[in-house]
Amino acid sequence: MEEANHRPDNPYTHMEGYKVLDASGEEIGEIEDTVYDAPSDVLKYVVVRGRPIPAERIEVDAEGQHASVPYDSTTIESAPEIEDPSGAFDEAVREHYEGGI
């Protein structure tokens, strides 16, 4: 099954540029990209420093234009680099972050 970002249909692009805070509240970068799966209407990842962070674990403050994640910066920096979403990539990301909480 092909999954694509579908940029024109992605309702989450407004989050790009939001500051990202790690589990300790330290700023670790900003959302560079949002990976949206249009067929299932799900935001899969936000991308920070070229690394995907599972979207279901982030808390977004739209008014403050920032997002908080429950991971430390080391966990994020050691995540797989972003690539086209696939089942294998999703599994690798999931396995990486399961140990990072």
pLDDT digits (tens, 9 = 90+) for 30-45: 999 999 988 889 999 9
Residue 7 confidence (pLDDT): 63
What amino acid is encoded at 16 in this protein? E
Residue 67 confidence (pLDDT): 97
Question: pTM for the complete prediction?
Answer: 0.86
- Position 19 in a domain: yes
- Position 12 in a domain: yes
- Which strands form 51-54's sheet, in the order they lie side by side? 33-37, 42-48, 51-54
- Say how many domains are in the chain: 1
Q: Are 54 and 48 in contact (CB under 8 A)?
A: no
Beta strands 19-21 and 27-30 are antiparallel
Residue 2 confidence (pLDDT): 40
pLDDT lower than 50: segments of the chain: 1-5
Residue 86 confidence (pLDDT): 85
Give the domain extent around 90.
Answer: 7-98
